[in-house]
Amino acid sequence: MPTGVAIRDVREQLFDAADRVLLRAGPSGLTSRAVTTEAGCAKGVLHRHFADFDAFLADFVLDRVDRMDAQAAALRESAGTGTVAGNLTDALTALFGSVAVAIVALVTFRDELRARLRQAWPAGVPVLTEATVMIGSYLTAERELGRIAADAEVDALAPTLIGTGHLLFADRRGAPPEAEAVHKVVTSVIAGVVREPLP
């Protein structure tokens, strides 16, 4: 790209390019040159907008976490509709079928990125902790509606579902799990607390 040509929405263009590189090449393939090449811009463009590559990666991860807000709102609004297991299956499939699994690998791969993220995110891996909050909020709404037991331990169920979902989807080389496999695991995790009528 010629120097002096304005790029619209540079950050978003670079973040989208990082998504594609991360999904295709994994954490070790995610370099500043790979991102700028994928975005179709000069390497200097990234460094004009971010102090260094780890600053770019930290903003990239936090941007992707912020994008989960819409998914969290939609899941919470689904409380009382469909089935609890079906809603959770759809949510986990959407979450882990996205770049989220690759971001978890990226965060664990880069020490400096983890250090940067700790400044804004004091505990856990941002994508997973935000997903746990999302699932917990949904389960709380279902508990209030009586579709899961009043004494259901939402604070234990949510991380169990996220951890199990992550394990199902974590193999980048294999095909993602079938919806039926995800549903079976979800049903097993929530079996003791579901109070909705059987179909």
The 10s digit of each residue's pLDDT in 27-54 is 899 999 999 999 999 888 998 999 999 9
Give the range among 16-25, 111-120, 144-153 with minimum mean pLDDT: 111-120
Contact 60, 122 (CB under 8 A): no
pTM above 0.85, yes or no: no
Is pLDDT at 69 greater than 60 in this prediction? yes
Does 108 or 73 have the greater pLDDT score? 73
Grouping H, G, I as helix, E, B as strand and the rest as coil, residue 149 is coil
- One DSSP character per residue, 72-122 reads HHHHHHTTTSS-HHHHHHHHHHHHHTTTHHHHHHHHHH-HHHHHHHHHH--
Does 156 or 106 have the greater pLDDT score? 156
The 10s digit of each residue's pLDDT in 124-155 is 677 888 899 999 999 999 999 999 999 999 99
| Model pLDDT, residue 2 | 43
Contact 51, 33 (CB under 8 A): no
Domains of the chain are 1-49 (1.10.10), 53-190 (1.10.357)
